[in-house]
Amino acid sequence: MTTWQSASIQSGEVTIRYQRAGNGAPIILAHGFSDNGDCWKAFAEPLTATHDVILIDARNHGQSGKARHSNGAIDQANDVKALITQLDLEKPVVIGHSMGAQMAMHAAGLFPELLRAVVLEDPPMFPDVVPTADELATTKARRLGWIDSLKALNHEQLVLRCIAENPTWRAEELHHWAESKHQFGFVSDVVDYEPERTIHWQKLIPQIGVPALLISADASKGSIVPATAAAEARVLSAHIEVALIRNVGHCIRREAPQAYAALVGDFLKRTQG
C-alpha cells in the first residue's frame, strides 16, 4: 500500500493541505465539489510507481482551511500556483474533476508557463448566464441543505447511501467519499460561489497554452459538459482534445475506471515524452 506524506502550504490567508507520494514527473490531482484529496487515491496509487503524485484539498474542503470569501475558481487556481511554487514543482500535469477541472482550466489559462498539461474530467461548461442574487441564494440554500442531510448521517450510513446511489463504484471509493462529506467546510456565513471570481469557460479556453484533454460522458446520465460545449472548446483552442466515455455520468473515473485510466495514461505518455 502507498504511504502518503501529509503537509500543508500557505496560500494567502488559507492553509492548503496536501498529500504526496511516489517519484517521477509531478502530477497534481484536484477533486470535485464536497470531495477531498483522498477521493483520488483509487486512481492515484498506481500512478505513484512512475510519478510524483500530489493530492490537494481545496479550500473549504478536506483538511484545508476555510475562506469566508474569495472562493471562486481564480482563487482555487492560485492555490494550485502556490503549491507549485512552494514545492518547487517542475511543470506538473494538473488533473481535475468537476470543480477541480474548473480549477485546472483556470490554472492552464492564467499561468500556463507553470504547467505541462491538464486533464479536465467533466468540468462545468454551462451557458454564460450570470445568476441573480435570488438564484445564488437558492443555490446556496440547496447546497447547504444537501450537505447538512449528509452530515446528519454517520460514516456507515453515508457508505450505504453512496452504495445505493452509485452501485458501480469500487469499494475503495466509498469510505473516502463518506469521510469527505463530514470534512466539507461550507457553512452559512461562507460565500461558496462568486461569479466575479470565476472566468467563464468560453473566455478562458482560448487562453489555455498547454495540451489539454477534456473527458466528457453522457448528459443523460449526469455529465455537465454538453456535446455542443465540447465541440466549441475544440474550436476555441488548438490545444484541446476531447474524449467521450459513454454509458457513464459525471463521476467518470469512478464509473469507468479502466477506460478513464487508459485515456489519461495515453495522454500522459504523449505529453511527458
**Residue 49 or 196, more confident:** 49
Position 254 in a domain: yes
Q: What is the pLDDT of residue 162?
A: 97
Position 150 in a domain: no
Helix (H) or strand (E) holding 121: strand 117-121
With a cut of 60, say whether residue 188 has pLDDT above it: no
**Residue 129 or 106, more confident:** 106
Q: Count the domains in the chain.
A: 1
Position 46 in a domain: yes
Q: Dihedral of CA 102/180/39/53: which sign?
A: positive
Label residue 71 by pLDDT band (50, 70, 90): confident
Q: What is the mean pLDDT of residues 164-181?
A: 96
Residue 249 one-letter amino acid: G
What percentage of the chain exceeds 90 in pLDDT? 82
Position 19 in a domain: yes
Q: What is the mean pLDDT of residues 85-113?
A: 97
Bridge partners (DSSP) of residue 118 are 94, 212
Position 252 in a domain: yes
With a cut of 60, say whether residue 114 has pLDDT above it: yes
Label residue 70 by pLDDT band (50, 70, 90): confident
**Long-range own/partner contacts, residues 196-199 (CB < 8 A, 24 or more apart):** 196/72, 197/70, 197/71, 197/72, 197/73, 197/74, 197/75, 198/72, 198/73, 198/74, 198/102, 198/106, 199/73, 199/74, 199/106, 199/109
Which three-class secondary structure state does DSSP give residue 92? coil
Give me the CATH number covering residue 69. Answer: 3.40.50.1820
Label residue 133 by pLDDT band (50, 70, 90): confident
Q: What is the pLDDT of residue 189?
A: 52
Q: What is the pLDDT of residue 191?
A: 52
Position 187 in a domain: no
Q: pLDDT tens digit string along 146-160?
A: 888 999 999 999 999
Position 75 in a domain: yes
Those residues with Cβ within 8 angstroms of residue 245's Cβ, 6 or more apart along the chain or in another chain: 215, 216, 217, 252, 256, 259, 260, 263
Q: Which residue has the cell 475506471?
A: 257
Q: Which domain holds residue 53?
A: 5-129+194-272
Position 100 in a domain: yes
Q: pLDDT tens digit string along 43-68?
A: 999 999 999 999 999 999 999 998 87
CB 212 within 8 A of CB 220: no
| Distance between CA atoms of residues 22 and 25, nearest Å | 9
**Residue 133 or 79, more confident:** 79
- The pTM assigned to this predicted structure is 0.95
